[in-house]
Amino acid sequence: MAPMDERKKGRKARSNSSQRWLARQRRDPFARQASETGKASRAHFKLEQLDERFRLLKPGQRVLELGAAPGGWTCYVEERIRPAGLLLACDERPITTSGDTVVIDDLYGTEQTDKKIANILGSRPVDLVLSDMAPNISGIRTADQARSMELVELAEAAADDWLKPSGTLVVKIFQGDGIESWIRHMRKKYDKFKLVKPKASRQDSREMYAVAERFRAESFRTGA
């Protein structure tokens, strides 16, 4: 097949995919609700449902959010930790905020980002680490799953570094290879661990959220 034909085929496939995505968005009640109520994204409702179940957020908390763009979780957290709370939101893409959030315009996992977080937090850890990070989907399931697990492990590492004893980690995870061994590992580091799917997550998606509560920081950090 000629190169031009290949490019046309690729453009047609992307166009069809975009049309399917738009049609799904129009059918999705949470996407519609986000648009109608001025929320940054439908992700707002996922965190809201997790918060209702696990009571994650309270006024005055210190929170580190990874993969914050476009701001669906950010805006919800801002409302819940007022007054006197602190939210650090990390992403290289633009984040919608009310102005109260400290935005770190970089991806988590770089030395530069770590230094920025350390300068802001000092010696005071956070109560909660949130990660809604997800890979750019290539369509190659094994590669996508491997990249997803890399992001999960980055969130875990962030909690290792910045979470207070008995703090909580919430991280997006996709069902697939590597999950079971990671869950076993996390049960050694946290007193409570649940894998849940909020109603706002699409039912045909492999997306779930891990909620790890009561971090055993002293045992973990001393190597006990």
Residues in the chain: 224
Backbone angles phi, psi at 168, to 5 degrees: -125, 140
172 neighbors 198 (Cβ within 8 angstroms)? no
3-state secondary structure of 44: helix
List the beta bridge partners of residue 91.
none
The catalytically annotated residue of 39, 116, 164, 172 is 172
The verdict on whether 115 is a catalytic residue reads no
Task: Supply the Cα-derived Rg of the chain in whole angstroms.
Answer: 19
147-155 CB contacts, 8 Å cutoff, 24+ apart: 148/173, 148/174, 148/176, 149/177, 149/178, 149/179, 149/182, 151/67, 152/182, 152/210, 153/182, 154/66, 154/108, 154/109, 155/66, 155/108, 155/129, 155/131
* Cβ atoms within 10 Å of 54's Cβ, excluding its own: 16
In the numeric block, the tokens 């996407």 are attached to 31
Residues identified as active-site? 172
